[in-house]
Amino acid sequence: MRTLLALSALAGLAAATLPAYTVNRPVIRRDSRADAVKEAFSHAWDGYYTYAFPHDELHPISNGFGDSRNNWGASAVDALSTAIMMRNATIVNQIIDHIATIDYSKTGTMVSLFETTIRYLAGMISGYDLLKGPAAGLVEDSRVGVLLEQSKNLADVLKFAFDTPSGVPYNMINITSRGNDGATTNGLAVTGTLVLEWTRLSDLTGNDEYARLSQKAEDYLLHPEPARYEPFPGLIGSAVNINDGSLANGHISWSGGADSYYEYLIKMYVYDPERFGLYRDRWVAAAESSIAHLASHPSSRPDLTFLATYNEENQLGLSSQHLTCFDGGSFLLGGTLLDRQDFVDFGLDLVAGCHETYNSTLTGIGPEDFSWDSNGVPDDQRVLFESAGFYITNGQYILRPEVIESFYYAWRVTGDETYREWVWAAFSNVNKYCRTASGFAGLHDVDAENGGGRIDNQESFIFAEVLKYSYLAFAPEDEWQVQKGSANTFVYNTEAHPFKVYTPQ
């Protein structure tokens, strides 16, 4: 999931009520760890349901609520697929009851096409796929159809965003006036992270309009112009002109604003290799170019690997984000799918680099932003840079999932228990430092004592991603687990909502 909110904070909350676990306790069995994650999920849900439902998110220190996602109950919809996987029928029924009441045609605030697609639309479609598939029988089947019905209702409300000269959509739209924010460009990730959800909706409903809209926008990215904004094969600029679909710059990155475009290229091929072979080819080109041109090694820790950025002045930027740490999982998924050991090996190198950003802080949790540019090391972080290969440029943690996500992919692809232990350590530290009496809060500074104080916001993706990936690492084998090679029957969207891969009727 890829956004950052401005957050207010309160400090001084009592210590977490559940003791932290460590990877050095061999008495903890796999099923016990799965149960611990399920308990954390229920704890977060109970606090949200008590103090914030049906609003979008809980403020877990003040026990207030926020409505950053249009007051449609983002945390509830984002929690659905995880609750299904955990087979918590009580919570699943509560969420379905809520979804049936949502009027997606009404909100008092601007709507993000991107955020609404990856959280609401994907959450409902995924719930439908799971409850009509491997989780059938968890709730009464007669209750499941509303998820697809409401998915269609939401897409019908949103689809005017694509009504532009090029078909590249506006992101920020006013669904009441059918207006927009007047932007002239859209982001690479925003434009390129709609196609999985909207295509799946077409395949489920038999109405190809949703797929056509999203794939027309994506087509500009698959055939980018002008050529100067594709400095290396497959790597393209981070903004798209809404008027004509041309690229608006040549800034290259796997970080926020560009990230999930690359993520979806290979995932569309997982979804349907017959229709989306070009998406695979573009991902392969981007992956090979990234290894050749963006791979970067800190001068103080040349054993580590991060992905740099690249600008129009032909300069590398030696900085990255927590968001970017999905990259290891993407290389691992593509590598196992395509039988490319070089991609798998590079993915594991990226996973190890992101692990260092967790392993080297006082909380054992990684920062929002970091750098390894030796020319900019702050004096008070020189020791950290020399030992860990990076320094912190933004120490916040807002419950992001990407590092745990890539640890999970590393374990599923390699079977190496090391990566599952890394999942457990990360979850345990989130549970220790972020847990409040009613949920989970962000941290101001991951490298300060007790996280530097807590941020009074519980993002919906704690339900959708952090606790899902933590659970899956220790959960029983199920159809929705990531598989090696081409054996996947589900593919995860960027908010970790699993969709059933396409099978011809």
374: its two tokens: 């030796």
Cβ atoms within 10 Å of 28's Cβ, excluding its own: 16
Residue list for the binding site: 494
The CA distance from 503 to 498, in Å, is 15
Confidence category of residue 30, pLDDT binned at 50, 70, 90: confident
What is the side-by-side order of every strand in the sheet holding 179-180? 111-112, 172-174, 179-180
The CA distance from 324 to 33, in Å, is 27
In the annotation, is 402 catalytic? yes
Question: Which residues, 6 or more positions from 4, have their beta carbon under 8 angstroms from its beta carbon?
Answer: 256, 368, 398
> Cα–chain-centroid distance for residue 426?
16
Question: 42: helix, coil or strand?
Answer: helix
The CA distance from 60 to 457, in Å, is 6
The active-site residue out of 349, 402, 459, 495 is 402
Confidence category of residue 29, pLDDT binned at 50, 70, 90: low
Confidence category of residue 378, pLDDT binned at 50, 70, 90: very high
Confidence category of residue 3, pLDDT binned at 50, 70, 90: very low
Q: Give me the pLDDT at residue 26, please.
A: 38
The vertex-346 CA angle with 343 and 350, nearest 5°, equals 130
User: Does the pLDDT at position 23 exceed 70?
Assistant: no
The CA distance from 205 to 91, in Å, is 26
In the annotation, is 46 catalytic? no
Mean pLDDT (whole number) for 285-305: 98
The active-site residue out of 56, 57, 78, 115 is 115
User: Does the pLDDT at position 15 exceed 80?
Assistant: no
- Of 141 and 23, the structure prediction assigns the larger pLDDT to 141
The CA distance from 189 to 197, in Å, is 14
> Cα–chain-centroid distance for residue 78?
12
Helix 195-205 × helix 259-271 angle, to 10°? 30
Instruction: Tell me the whole-structure pTM to 2 decimals.
Output: 0.94
The CA distance from 466 to 463, in Å, is 7
Mean pLDDT (whole number) for 181-189: 98
* Paired strand residues for 66: 57
The CA distance from 453 to 204, in Å, is 45
The active-site residue out of 78, 197, 230, 259 is 259
Question: Which residues, 6 or more positions from 6, have their beta carbon under 8 angstroms from its beta carbon?
Answer: none
Q: Give me the pLDDT at residue 21, please.
A: 31
Confidence category of residue 14, pLDDT binned at 50, 70, 90: very low
Task: Note the pLDDT tens digit of each residue in 385-397.
Answer: 999 999 999 999 9
Q: Position 126: which residue type?
A: S
Q: Give me the pLDDT at residue 20, please.
A: 36
Q: Position 170: which residue type?
A: Y
What's the whole-number average pLDDT of the chain?
A: 94
User: Does the pLDDT at position 239 exceed 50?
Assistant: yes
- Of 297 and 14, the structure prediction assigns the larger pLDDT to 297
Mean pLDDT (whole number) for 133-155: 98
* Paired strand residues for 295: 307
Mean pLDDT (whole number) for 276-301: 98
Confidence category of residue 490, pLDDT binned at 50, 70, 90: very high
The active-site residue out of 349, 368, 445, 456 is 368
Question: Which residues, 6 or more positions from 93, have their beta carbon under 8 angstroms from its beta carbon?
Answer: 139, 143
Helix 209-222 × helix 195-205 angle, to 10°? 150
158: its two tokens: 């949103």
Q: Give me the pLDDT at residue 18, please.
A: 32
Mean pLDDT (whole number) for 492-501: 98
> Cα–chain-centroid distance for residue 478?
21
Domains in the chain: ranges and CATH: 29-67+297-488 (1.50.10.10), 72-291 (1.50.10.10)
Residue list for the binding site for Ca(2+): 494
Contact at 8 Å (CB) between 471 and 86? yes
The CA distance from 83 to 374, in Å, is 45
Contact at 8 Å (CB) between 325 and 402? yes
Confidence category of residue 31, pLDDT binned at 50, 70, 90: confident
Question: Which residues, 6 or more positions from 138, have their beta carbon under 8 angstroms from its beta carbon?
Answer: 84, 87, 89, 92, 131
